[in-house]
């Protein structure tokens, strides 16, 4: 895949073009794979307290692992010339899901503690840990090993990774914000009752997480592959060749 393996570093414009192209071409597979996790978790957040609070926490942690996991596996299939589907993505994501989610949760806890205790600046850790999910999925590192590996990948490219992360978060935030404003606009336009407006807002929140988050994850996964290729060359190709793809064949 040329977007991943070019001779010069993947600039942010080409990466965004590649992420959007992959998203559009494999829209149904990506959305369906995301919905498998998003919809049940979103419904759990609507439950009465304390289950609603538990659901919110689980949603944050689980989707923090599922979203980069789905995006990374879709890119692996694209590189192999294989058509990804929700079923084939989850066939590979399922067995590593627990380790993936727990590793993401650990990274969030460490970053949160740094914010409270001021041990290491919070913003440094957030950038260092950008590739924890991809590292778990592709390299099978977990917990502190995955966090350290992500940090190593970021070293020497901190501002580049930060720029990608800021752009990805901005795109996600703007689109999600526009969707979130829709219920209020509908209420003002059509005089909807509060209950109807709340139901619409909840539904749009679910749709937003399914539709918007994958673009951010695809962009960061492309950067992860680019950083590895830049540093390791053919080694990453051999590593990818060992991974299963959608049809069970080698890449």
Confidence class of residue 3 from pLDDT cuts 50, 70 and 90? very low
* DSSP code at position 139: I
In-domain check, residue 15: yes
In-domain check, residue 246: no
Range 174-193 average pLDDT: 60
As for how many domains the chain has, the answer is 1
What is the span of the domain harbouring residue 234?
2-241
What gap in Å lies between CA 247 and CA 251, rounded to an integer? 10
> Does the predicted TM-score (pTM) go above 0.75?
yes
Confidence class of residue 65 from pLDDT cuts 50, 70 and 90? confident
Question: How confident is the model over 88-117, as pLDDT tens digits?
Answer: 999 999 999 999 999 999 998 888 888 777
Token pair belonging to 36: 């498998």
In-domain check, residue 247: no
Q: Are 76 and 243 in contact (CB under 8 A)?
A: yes
At residue 132, the pLDDT reads 95
What does the mean pLDDT of the chain come to? 78
Above 50 in pLDDT, residue 194? no
Q: What is the DSSP string of 98-111?
A: HHHHHHHHHHHHHH
Residue 73, burial from CB neighbour count under 10 angstroms (0-12, 13-18, 19+): buried
In-domain check, residue 249: no
Question: How confident is the model over 18-37, as pLDDT tens digits?
Answer: 899 999 999 999 999 988 88
Q: Are 15 and 226 in contact (CB under 8 A)?
A: yes
């Amino acid at each position: 895949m040329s977007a991943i393996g070019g001779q010069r570093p993947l600039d942010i414009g080409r990466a965004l073009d590649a992420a959007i192209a992959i998203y559009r071409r494999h829209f149904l597979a990506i959305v369906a794979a995301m919905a498998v996790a998003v919809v049940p978790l979103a419904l759990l957040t609507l439950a009465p307290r304390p289950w609603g609070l538990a659901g919110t926490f689980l949603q944050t942690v689980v989707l923090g692992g599922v979203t980069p996991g789905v995006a990374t596996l879709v890119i692996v299939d694209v590189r192999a010339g294989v058509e990804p589907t929700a079923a084939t993505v989850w066939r590979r994501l399922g067995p590593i899901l627990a380790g993936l989610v727990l590793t993401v949760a650990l990274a969030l806890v460490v970053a949160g503690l740094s914010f409270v205790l001021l041990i290491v600046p919070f913003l440094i850790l957030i950038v260092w840990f950008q590739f924890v999910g991809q590292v778990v999925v592709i390299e099978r590192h977990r917990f502190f090993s995955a966090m350290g590996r992500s940090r190593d990948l970021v070293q020497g490219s901190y501002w580049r990774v930060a720029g990608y992360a800021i752009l990805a978060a901005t795109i996600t935030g703007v689109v999600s914000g526009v969707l979130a404003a829709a219920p209020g606009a509908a209420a003002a336009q059509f005089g909807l009752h509060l209950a109807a407006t709340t139901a619409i807002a909840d539904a749009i929140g679910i749709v937003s997480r399914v539709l918007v988050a994958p673009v951010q994850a695809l962009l960061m996964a492309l950067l992860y592959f680019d950083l590895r290729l830049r540093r390791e060359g053919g080694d990453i190709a051999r590593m990818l060749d060992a991974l299963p793809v959608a049809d069970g064949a080698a890449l």
